[in-house]
Structure 1
Amino acid sequence: MLREFVETGRYSFREKFESWEEAIAASCEPIIKEGVIEPVYVEAVINCVKKYGPYIIIA
């Protein structure tokens, strides 16, 4: 799975974020640019974390 992220360029590096919401949005940027997800997905993820807590499974 990690190889797929690297090979497809689905990653980004930043020095710092002002909030965890900003970090979530930044992590989605590469796949938004690719057309894999729409920007509305970012808000859905943020809302789920606010509602259910910060436990996230990446699969």
Structure 2
Amino acid sequence: MIDYFAIFLTHGLIVLVCWRLLAREDLDDPLAAPPPAPGKPGTRKRRRRDKGRGGDV
């Protein structure tokens, strides 16, 4: 009996969350999207590995 209750409760909550997400007005509005993050993509500096240096001497 408790197994059915636990399954019903968890699945019911998942259905409720999906229903509320799909009912949001801003899903269909492209102007409601958040602004892009500041900075240009790919501006992160990469660390370079020095091959042949710093190893066993």
Greater helix fraction, Structure 1 or Structure 2: 1
Relative to the length of structure 1, the TM-score reads 0.27
Which structure's CA Rg is the greater one?
2
TM-score, with length taken from structure 2: 0.27
